[in-house]
Amino acid sequence: MREAPSVKLQDPRLQERRALLVAGLLRRHYTPETLNDIPAQWQQLPFGKIPSQLGHMAYGIISDLNEAAGTFDYLAGVEVSGVSTAVADLTYVKIPAQKYAIFCHRAHVSKLRETMAAIWHEWLPSSHCIASHPTAGAPQMVEYYGENFDPQTGLGDIEVWLPLQP
């Protein structure tokens, strides 16, 4: 996340989003050296087989971000209607209802880091918005992969949600 941004961001839409419960396999810690392991985490997610899964959307939850060190925790998951004990390795994250700056990402998923860097280093400092300061483990950014996202091509409906202070 520390790399220099090289994308041109479009203005985000500012939107209140409802609360979500996301279930995924083990939250993992990443460093600049291990970032390329994120796709393998997604491949392990039993998409469509998680009890009480809602819809065909997926979420990448970024928390405990240390911008200076370039480290963060990441959870690949789906929205669920409730907690289940049917799959033992699931981790649950509650995302509160709140206001977000929502950025559309129209490029290949491999360019997502560039969009995030542009958000943190260009848009946020020049905006009148203030990023939310979540408690430990709460999302600092959310990747949203909509129903039109194609994991085979890496293209489609991708958004980056930045939680904002009220």
Q: What does the pLDDT look like over 126-146, one tens digit per residue?
A: 898 888 776 655 789 999 999
Higher pLDDT residue, 3 or 73?
Answer: 73
pTM: 0.90
What would the pLDDT profile of 76-98 be if each residue is shown by its tens digit?
A: 999 999 998 877 788 999 998 99
* Dihedral angle of Cα 158, 42, 56, 112, to the nearest 10 degrees: 0
- What values do phi and psi take at 106, rounded to 5? -100, -5
User: What is the pLDDT at residue 62?
Assistant: 94
Q: Are 20 and 95 in contact (CB under 8 A)?
A: yes
Rounded mean pLDDT of 45-60?
A: 92
Find how far residue 110's CA is from the centre of its chain. Answer: 14
What's the Cα-to-Cα distance from 143 to each of 73, 88, 112, 153, 157, rounded to whole Å?
Answer: 13, 24, 9, 17, 11
User: What is the pLDDT at residue 137?
Assistant: 59
User: What is the pLDDT at residue 128?
Assistant: 83
Higher pLDDT residue, 9 or 77?
Answer: 77
Q: Under 8 Å CB-to-CB from 1, ≥6 apart: which residues?
A: 65, 67, 70, 72, 113, 116, 117, 120
Dihedral over Cα of 9, 160, 46, 137: its sign = positive
**Closest among 97, 64, 61 to 77, alpha carbons compared:** 61
**Closest among 103, 116, 115 to 157, alpha carbons compared:** 103
Q: Which domains does the chain have, with CATH numbers?
A: 13-163 (3.20.80.10)
